Each structure stands twice: as C-alpha cells, then as structure tokens.
Amino acid sequence: MVTEPVCARMLAERRTEQDLADLQTVLDRLRAIVEAGFEAIPDVSTWSSASYRFHELIMQRCGNKTLAVQGAVLADIVDTHVQQSLAKELGRKGNMPERFGKTLRSFAKTIKLIEAGDGDAVEKHWRKHMEVAATYFFSSDAENTPVIDLFG
C-alpha cells in the first residue's frame, strides 16, 4: 500500500507508549508462531492475520482518520490476497521460514525507528519493506486475479 510508509512516518512523529506496546505485542505473537516451528503453523490465516495486524496498527495509529479508514476498507482484500498467496507459496518453496524471519526483523526495526521518533528512517524502511513484500505477493498469477475472485 502506497500510503503505509507515510503512515509509519506519521506514527513515529506522534507515537504513544500504548502504540509501541501494541506493535510489540503483535511482533511477540508472530515470533511465538515462528518459534513453535514452521510445521506448527496451523494454517496461513494464523500468520497472515497476525502479520496484517501490524500493518493495520500503523494505519490506525498514524493520526489521520482518512488514511485509517482507507486502510480498513482495503484490509479484507489485502488479507485475503496474502492468505491465498501464502497458501500457494507454502507448497512450492522451501524458503518460507527464512522469509518469516526477515519479516520479524523488519517489524522489529520498524518498532525501533518508531520508538526513536525517526520519521524519515521509518518511512524509508517501511517503503522498502512494502516493495520487497510486493515482489513475493505479486510474483505469481495472483497479480492478475480480479478482486471479486479472491472471495470465491
């Protein structure tokens, strides 16, 4: 999402201790999922929902209600697309545990930059995170799937 890096910047500039705690809670949940073992992930919706919550918090807590609403409108579409993309990738590639680890490191860095109040750095980092994620989620036939088809 194009607006998320800007929202990350805005969040860094106005963050509260509760914002940081909520982001950390999501990161801890994701770490617990990964540490339980790749095989222990019961389904892709577990990872996807927890991961998307991190993105959702960035949008919700940025201080701009319009951007928060925009993010909420897209939430179901994005979450459904991510779940379907992950489901396809889990069956094909052996690098998923490595990718989950990279996501955890990226989220941890994001929290540190937000905590430091470094809007420039977090916007740049989050933009890169989104660009890298897009290479995974839009590298398959899913990029050509009409939105209506995502919901069966």
Look at residue 45 in the predicted model and tell me its pLDDT: 73
Domain limits for position 129: 4-150
49 token code pair: 């929902």
Q: What angle do CA 22, 51, 13 make, to 5 degrees?
A: 45
Tell me the pTM.
0.81
**Angle, alpha carbons 70-75-78 (nearest 5°):** 115
Taking CA atoms, 52 is separated from 59, 66, 94, 116, 117, in Å, by: 11, 19, 22, 23, 22
Q: Provide the 10 A C-beta neighbour count for residue 36.
A: 11
Please report, for the domain that includes residue 79, its CATH number: 1.20.120.530
Domain count of the fold of the chain: 1
Per-residue pLDDT of the chain (152 residues; tens, 9 = 90+): 578 999 999 999 999 999 999 999 999 999 998 888 766 655 567 778 888 899 999 999 999 999 888 877 776 676 665 656 655 565 555 556 677 889 999 999 999 999 999 999 999 999 999 998 878 766 655 455 554 444 45
Can you give the pLDDT at residue 36? Answer: 81
